[in-house]
Amino acid sequence: MRRPVARKLSVLAVSAAVVSVGAAAPPTAHRDPVQKSPLAVGYGGAVASVDADASAAGIEVLRKGGNAVDAAVATAAALGVTEPYSAGIGGGGYFVYYDARTRTVHTIDGRETAPLSADQNLFTENGKPLAFADAVSSGLGVGTPGTPATWQAALDAWGSKRLSSVLKPAERLARDGFTVDDTFRSQTAANETRFRYFPDTAELFLPGGQLPVVGSTFKNPDLADTYAELARKGVGALYHGGLGQDIVDTVNHPPVDPASGWNARPGKLTERDLAAYRAKFQAPTKTSYRGLGVYSIAPSSSGGTTVGEALNILENTDLSKAGEAQYLHRYIEASRIAFADRGRWVGDPAFEDVPAKELLSQRYADSRACLIKDDAVLTSPVPPGDPRHPADCGAQGTAAPTTYEGENTTHLTVADKWGNVVAYTLTIEQTGGSGITVPGRGFLLNNELTDFSFAPANPAVHDPNLPGPGKRPRSSISPTIVLDRHGKPVVALGSPGGATIITTVLQTLTRFLDRGLPLVDAIAAPRASQRNAAQTELEPGLWNSDLRAQLEKIGHSFKLNPEIGAATGVQRLPDGRWLAAAERVRRGGGSAMVVRPAS
Catalytic residue among 179, 188, 409, 508: 409
φ, ψ at 186 (rounded to 5°) = -70, -35
Contact 531, 504 (CB under 8 A): no
Q: Which of 48, 74, 97, 70 is nearest to 580 (CA)?
A: 48
Output the CA–CA distances (angstroms, integers) from residue 483 to 281, 388, 435, in the order listed.
20, 28, 39
Mention every residue, 6+ apart, whose C-beta is less than 8 A from residue 316.
Answer: 366, 369
Residue 550 neighbours by CB distance under 10 Å: 16
Contact 414, 421 (CB under 8 A): yes
| Cis geometry, peptide bond prior to residue 38 (ω within 30 degrees of 0) | no
Separation CA 403–CA 454 (nearest Å): 9
Q: What is the DSSP string of 167-178?
A: THHHHHHHHH-E
Separation CA 533–CA 468 (nearest Å): 27
Mention every residue, 6+ apart, whose C-beta is less than 8 A from residue 520.
Answer: 17, 19, 38, 39, 581, 582, 584, 592
Output the CA–CA distances (angstroms, integers) from residue 46 to 57, 70, 185, 410, 572, in the order listed.
11, 13, 29, 17, 10
Contact 566, 497 (CB under 8 A): yes
Q: Which of 312, 211, 229, 251 is nearest to 117 (CA)?
A: 251
Q: Which helix (H) or strand (E) covers residue 236, if one does?
A: helix 236-239
- Is-catalytic flag, 409? yes
Output the CA–CA distances (angstroms, integers) from residue 530 to 63, 241, 291, 331, 501, in the order listed.
41, 44, 26, 9, 11
Q: Report the catalytic residues.
A: 409
